[in-house]
Amino acid sequence: MSVSQQVFLRDAMRRLNLTRDVFAGRIGVKRRALDTWLLPEGSQEFRAMPEVVNRFVTEIVENEGLLQKYAQSAQTGPLRNRIAAEGKHQLLSVDQFSRESVEELFRIADQMQPIARRQKVSRVLEGAVLGNLFFEASTRTRVSFGAAFCRLGGSVCDTTGFTFSSMAKGESIYDTSRVMSGYVDAMVIRHPEKGSVAEFARATNIPVVNGGDGPGEHPSQALLDLYTILTEFSRLGKLLDGAHIALVGDLKYGRTVHSLLKLLSLYRGLKFTLVSPRGLEMPDYIQDQVSTRGHVIEQSHSLEQGLQGADVIYATRVQKERFAAEELEGYTPDFQVNKAIVDQCCGPDVIVMHPLPRDSREGANDLSVDLNHDPRLAIFRQTDNGIPVRMAIFAVLLGVESLVQHSLRDVTWSPPTHIGPDDSIFHGMD
């Protein structure tokens, strides 16, 4: 670079006529990272800009077409309108998102962190009622959605399982959805059949969030997973563009990996290694959708080969409850992600994730508990991130995201500084 990094970036922002916040969003980095690149080189906080960012920004400013594209937003208006499904303020699939809208949602999630950390409270959803309709077993997702709604001042009505719903009496999805719409202001729905949540959504005009539809999608889980990856990479000084992501386990029925793979494909130049037992490979239609965006996809049935050099390992359990003709009861011992295989194949900065629950029963060979005290294991940071991300989803769908910052007040109780006994103070994120 013939000019200083500081001059180069300032000139790029000037030519694009963008503020620091918007420029950071356009190139897909955190504002705090951009700030360190813009400092004078003699400054103690100065950081060198990664080469991939240099190449990307150079490509933009030297190409008139790209310059015009990045100088103005391709989409305008409220975020909830830009991610609407069939004109409704509902979240049914990650296909509703662009990279720009994902990162805008994450900036709202960042604003929710003081509330999620029990430092501040907000009442922007006071008086609103959430209907949590879970027709399939759930602990984390159901409670996480409920907690997120309550932390914004709303209240929650739960129903769990078919046994305790009128659907056990033969009531249709349409009737159930329309009736609930008269009682609540938003619904989160989990259902064992793929496409069923979209059917619920068609029967109402209130916000509906897909909490998981059988082997289909789980968009909020994918969003919190991506948010976790970006947060962990920011802590490590890494970029998601160009990363190597290994998805491990039941990739056929694991709806979390279906949504996550599609969401990750919004980024640039990724390598995906899909590691699964035979018969549980990622569906072809999802691979085809991702490959058209220029990413490298490799498949493997060997954990040792698939994990080599990975930046992220995302493991998921065998979804035996969804099996049709498959006879596999669990992973074989040589398919378990454990400390030995992670040490053998990956570096000290690898991030190990899992959507949970992990099957800890003997013979399941799910993600090993011998990683529990390893700082590379991010599963509990991952679940914690579900609260700010789901708060952001509710705030956007109900149109109150702009009110949150001005509504904050200090908590009146003594909040914890460590959520778990082995955690650092909020994972060192302050």
Digit-by-digit pLDDT tens for the chain (430 residues) are: 567 888 888 888 888 878 787 788 777 777 888 888 988 887 888 888 888 888 888 888 787 766 666 665 445 679 999 999 888 999 999 999 999 899 999 999 999 999 999 999 999 999 999 999 998 878 889 999 999 999 999 999 987 765 555 555 567 889 989 999 999 999 999 998 888 999 999 999 999 999 998 877 889 999 999 999 999 998 888 889 999 999 998 888 888 899 999 999 999 999 999 998 888 889 998 999 898 888 999 999 999 999 999 999 999 977 655 455 555 555 677 778 999 999 999 999 999 999 988 888 877 788 999 999 899 999 999 999 999 999 999 999 999 999 999 999 999 999 887 777 777 654 544 4
| 3-state secondary structure at position 160 | strand
pLDDT recorded at residue 166: 55
Dihedral in degrees, nearest 10, Cα atoms 166, 172, 178, 182: -10
SS3 for 79?
Answer: helix
The single-letter code of the amino acid at 171 is E
CB 78 within 8 A of CB 30: no
Please give the radius of gyration of the chain, using alpha carbons only, rounded to the nearest integer.
22
Nearest CA among 418, 414, 412, 420 for reference residue 430: 418
Nearest CA among 89, 6, 17, 10 for reference residue 47: 6
- From 317, 231, 226, select the one nearest 265 (Cα to Cα): 226
Residues with Cβ < 8 Å from 389, sequence gap 6 or more?
A: 105, 106, 109, 220, 223, 224, 227
Tell me the β-bridge partners of 249: 316
Cβ neighbours for 22, distance < 8 A, ≥ 6 positions apart: none
Answer yes or no: are the C-beta atoms of 141 and 213 closer than 8 Å.
Answer: no
Provide the whole-model pTM. Answer: 0.82
Residue 160 sits at φ, ψ, to 5 deg, of: -130, 130
Query: What does the DSSP 8-state code read for residue 115?
Result: H
Order the strands of the 155-160 sheet from edge to edge: 155-160, 129-134, 186-191, 208-213
Which amino acid is it at 42?
A: G
**pLDDT of 313-345, one tens digit each?**
999 977 655 455 555 555 677 778 999 999 999
Whether CATH 3.30.1280.10 fits 80-218 = no
Overall fold of domain 220-319+328-380: Rossmann fold (3.40.50)
Which one-letter amino acid corresponds to residue 401? E
211, 218 Cβ separation under 8 angstroms:
yes
Maximum CA extent, the chain: 73
